[in-house]
Amino acid sequence: MAADPRFFEVTGPHSLAVIAEVAGGRFEGDGGRLFAGIGSLPSATPDQVSFLDNRRYVDALETTRAGAVVVDEAMLERVPAGCVPIVAKQPAIGFARVALLFHPPAPRRPGIHPTAVIGEGASIGEGTEIGPYAVVGEGASIGPDSLVEPHAVVGRGVVLGARARIHNHASITHTIAGDDVVLHPGARVGNEGFGFTTDPASGRYVTMPQLGRVVLGDGVEVGANVTIDRGASLDTEIGAGTRIDNLVQIGHNVRTGQGCVLVAQVGISGSSTLGDHVVLAGQAGVAGHLTIGSGARIGAQAGVMKDVAPGMDVAGLPAKPARDHWREVAALRRIAGNGPLTRMETAGAPSAAAGRNDRKQGRD
């Protein structure tokens, strides 16, 4: 399937030689052969380029009609006749560059839409586009070459670095952000934290002032309809390069290291701390005031109630070492008289699976 021109820019055709160079790969044959675009293995046509990254799809490679395919050395012999292999060390990255060659991002239209409301003292960087009905608060600062889509709200005093992308309906307040930060539609950053105490006299809840901020490192991406609360007194901090999927909840005072991956619907309770490159698979939860060490991997739907050591793989409710979890799953099946384990019960530890997906291809 070619990218739909109603939604994406289209360039080309481009020659095999150019494509291979962009992909950082080598090929044999006619470098002048022209290609019209890219496609997935099952749907690509002879005038399209495809790629294989996930071995799960090697069958699709062997039957693809694509005219060329970006693969690594090991997959070479699986490439069908009539399909030109472009051999690259990092097929996924190579293909990503080829995709951008054919489909560059839509050009920004620098300037402020007449319907946008810009607060006093706000500064907008050069080359930045502010869309219809965007609201930028007093004294806010948005770096150069940024995009603020329709209906986005950037609160009073907020600082966004260069090349920020604030998608439609996202709102961000009480936040200091680095460069290359992305907020997907409906993301809510800087909300008042869920902090209160009970007044024994009245029995009523009294809100604890939430006087901290959110600090987003360079390259942080925040998914659609995510919620990140600002700190109570310290800041809520998201480390550089961290990727947050849709509908994730991050409580006040949470701190994550660099390059963490939080898959959809994960929840991290207040004041917990993650090291670098921690991976939480979908729907996992972390209780409050915990420490998760660098490189730890938390399985899908795991419920973490204790600190997790660096590099540890955990799974289950309550979360425990994944190895123990799967041993317990097997033991329980046995004592229940449910017979030998079938494929369904012996799935690879979810954290491992999640790790693989996240590192390679996100949820794809």
Catalytically annotated residues: 252
Query: Interaction with a second copy in 188-227: which residues (CB under 8 A)?
Result: 188, 191-200, 203-209, 211-213, 219, 223-225, 227
User: Strand 273-274 vs strand 249-250: parallel, antiparallel, or unpaired?
Assistant: unpaired
Non-local CB neighbours of 311 within 8 Å, separated by 6+ positions: 293, 294, 295, 296
Number of Cα atoms under 13 Å in the Cβ half of residue 36: 10
- The mark string for 57-96 relative to a second copy (x by CB under 8 A, - otherwise) is ---------------------------------x-xx-xx
Give the ranges where 80-193 is alpha helix by DSSP (H): 91-102
Q: Does 111 bind a second copy (CB under 8 A)?
A: no
- Return the residue of 13, 31, 111, 362 that touches a second copy, per CB under 8 A: 362
Rule CB under 8 A: is residue 11 a binding residue for a second copy?
A: no
Planar angle of CA 146, 152, 153, nearest 5 degrees: 100
14-22, 26-34, 67-75, 146-154 -> range binding a second copy (CB under 8 A): 146-154
Q: Is 253 in the site for a second copy (CB under 8 A)?
A: yes
Number of other CB atoms surrounding residue 211 within 10 Å: 12
Q: Which stretch binds a second copy (CB under 8 A): 13-21, 58-66, 76-84, 341-349?
A: 341-349
Write down the number of H helices and E strands in the chain. 5, 38
* Window 151 to 190, contacts with a second copy (CB under 8 A): 151, 153, 155-157, 159, 167-169, 171, 173-174, 184-186, 188
Residue 80 DSSP class: P
Query: Given candidates 47, 108, 264, 291, which one binds a second copy under the rule CB under 8 A?
Result: 264
CB of 28 to a second copy, least distance (A): 25
Would you mind telling me the total number of residues written for the chain in this entry? Answer: 364
